Structure 1
Amino acid sequence: MNFIRNNAGGIGICAIIALPCWFLGQAFPIVGGPVFAILAGMAIALLWKPRARGTLQKGIGFTAKKVLQYAVILLGFGLNLIQIAQVGAMSLPIICSTIATALIVAFLMSKALHMPSDISTLIGVGSSICGGSAIAATAPVINAKDEDVAQAISVIFLFNVVAALVFPTLGNLLGMSNDGFGLFAGTAVNDTSSVTAAAAAWDGMHPGSNALDHATIVKLTRTLAIIPITLVLALLQVRKAKRAAEDAGSAGVSMVASDASASEVAGDSSNAVANSNNSAATTASDSSATRQTGGKQLGNFSLKRAFPMFILWFVVASIITTIAVAAGADAAVFDPLKTLSKFFICMAMAAIGLNTDIVKLVKSGGKPILMGFVCWICIAAVSLGMQALLGLW
């Protein structure tokens, strides 16, 4: 009852915002419901500040974090691992190459542009894997701020639209085959909705082609990269936390020793003992408080706590789908869960939009857009280059 009382209002507000955005996304798939939702949330936030929301803010925060994780879990019901293994295996070299390219480019540009690591990570995984879904899976693992998520989603959306509009014509100019364009769209376009939009446009230009089916399977294969990427990021978080804990512990010991030494020099050994005891007590108190709050100051994380459990359930959902389809079940049985996943993402994006300062977002948008552009160009170039190298063009 306490949970309902504290969160129902905020969750309901996010659902109300997400509902029309969901239908807009159906009408304009090149944009997609999540983008409409995050834009709507940011527009509302201009007038409705967090202080004015009162108890509703708890539910909004829950939607931005937990509902987002539930959306990723349900996303697993759209993955038939056997089908992906059979059809998507040929695309693995290109998928691995494009993912590695995007992550390396994002890392190098974050250093060159002096950008925060969280926004760089989100843009890197969003560009390389599957747009909004990858950002949704990664954000909780690295404890990204809502503003960083909104920034990354906005950047990914911009180049999704450009790709969906430009790539079919580019494919024609390059003389690509139907399967070749499906592979190109599945590896070089970020978000699933934009992949399908680009491939559908190609099929419209080439009656009888099946680029849409090919692109979709390649994209689903690419989506599986969410699993290793998030696990690696979780391990890096643990490593960073342990290092912070060691540094904090060393600093505490040094402070105690310094206090004692200074007091002894002054000839006041009793004060040295008192100061030493007080410093040690303070250090112990801080450590205890960090343990109780789960804070990151001392990095008191364990692998068990840092492991993104929702990714494990995502894998379980994929396995359930695979076993059920192999046993003769119709894959369409899972369509309602896939639809619910997409609606949950719309709700979460609405919540993130409500927690985002759009003015600050616009002012700080230059560097993330540049990073997204360079990642996008590099991914497209590597996808085309690898196809030519492997003779798949």
Structure 2
Amino acid sequence: MVQVETRPPRQTSAPASHFIHTVPGLLVVLALAGAAVPLGRLIPVVGGPVFGILLGVATGALAPALRGEWSRPGYDFASKYLLQASIVVLGTGLSLRQVVEVGGGSLPVMLGTLAVALGGAWLFGRWLGVRGDTQILIGVGTGICGGSAIAAATAAIGAKRTSVAYALATIFTFNVVAVLTFPTLGHLLGMSPEAFGLWAGTAINDTSSVVAAGYAYSQQAGDHALVVKLTRSLMLVPIVLGLVILKSRREAKASVQTGSPQQQGTSAELAGRKLPWRKMVPLFLVGFLAAAGLRSAGLVPEAWQPNLSLLGTFLITSALVGIGLSLRLSELRKAGLRPLLLGAVLWICVAASSLGLQQLTGAL
């Protein structure tokens, strides 16, 4: 009898297998992002990222089959890794030279409004019962740069999908209100182009809305508002670092409280040590600073900026599509209108404090 040698089937390597599993869901995400980005360019006040999460939520609700186990790896990949990649690409739009040109006159207003936003989020969030990830994301989004800041904070702390949706909805609502009201209010107050640009750059969240309000006031106001907005975006670095450190220390403390006596001893020792820099400084934040450095050094040609901006928008929109596809409408109903109310209070406080700080510093 002839013996036939049989060989076990070749097994796909773990990384390749993981990538294969992400493809179906990722294709759904990219298709919806391909529709959301043009819609965002058609209606800039809304923007591609907001359209992305709206299309994701609507598609998931209307076609539940797209929420099967076959699609989840792709959605998770988009909401994590594409989100981080978007922050790196967005860094190419920040020139450190422009930050220096803004000067010390604008810095007190920017730092003051950031402190008002973060402090207000903590205080009013406790009062309204809006806590945890939602409280953090609304505060960071209002204080720094809207959707980009929400994306960076989400990548840093792994925020819940519902918190991301609430924060984006809140930021979007008051972006629209600001674009419609700020130019009229600026003229009624008799603000100079520089004063209005500083006000718009510190009190309006997303870049597209800052540009819309600034240039609606005047060309000079729009130019100044955009530079202030880019400088404000640099505040992402210390805030994200702070969030990462806070999250790591909380996790270490939780492991001390829940582990066995031996584990508690080990975790307590770890909690007492300094955190390793790899945990303190997320890789996407290093990429963001490197991209800004390349732009500042003149190694990113100006002609590339439109395409890089479009790529960054597409990546963040894809990430939010993935988050939207994973959301359940029932999850959004639980918090009611309290997050929106928190956003309203913070927006009013930031807008008012920006004017007050300009008055105090002589910029108004």
Give TM-score scaled by structure 1 length.
Answer: 0.82
Q: Is 1:321–2:336 an aligned residue pair?
A: no
The equivalent of 1:44 in structure 2 is 59
**Equivalent position of 2:5 in the other structure:** none
| Max Rg structure | 1
- Deviations, residues 212-267 of structure 1 (Å, cap 9, x unaligned): 11000000000000000000111111211221222234xx33xxxxxxxxxxxxxx
What is the CA distance between 1:52 and its match in structure 2?
4.4
The amino acid that maps onto 1:163 is: A
Q: Does structure 2 retain, via aligned residues, the 8 Å contact 1:50–1:57?
A: no
In the TM superposition, what are the counterparts of 1:1-393 in structure 2 within 5 Å? 1-49=16-64, 52-203=67-218, 209-249=219-259, 252-253=260-261, 304-305=278-279, 307-324=281-298, 330-393=301-364
**Which secondary structure does the structure 1 equivalent of 2:62 belong to?**
coil
- Distance in 2 (CA, whole Å) between partners of 1:388 and 1:22 is 39
Name the aligned partner's letter for residue 366 of structure 1: L
Which ranges of structure 1 fall in alignment gaps of 5 or more residues?
A: 204-208, 254-279, 289-300
Q: CA deviation at 1:340?
A: 0.5
Q: Could you say if the C-alpha distance between residues 353 and 88 of structure 1 is closer, same or farther in structure 2, counting changes exceeding 3 Å?
A: farther
By how many angstroms is 1:303 displaced? 5.2
Equivalent position of 1:297 in the other structure: none
Q: Matches of 1:336 and 1:360 in 2, distance apart?
A: 36
- In structure 2, do the counterparts of structure 1 residues 120 and 165 end up closer, same or farther at CA, with 3 Å as the change threshold? same
Count of aligned residue pairs for this structure pair: 341
- Cα deviation, 1:270-304, whole Å, max 9, x if unaligned, reads xxxxxxxxxx8xx79xx99xxxxxxxxxxxx8553
RMSD, matched Cα: 2.0
Q: Report SS of the residue matched to 1:18.
A: helix
Give CA deviations for 1:170-199 in whole Å, capped at 9, x if unaligned: 111111111111111000001111101111
Task: Provide the secondary structure at the position in 2 that maps to 1:54.
Answer: coil
1:390 CA drift (Å): 1.4
State the percentage of identical aligned residues: 42
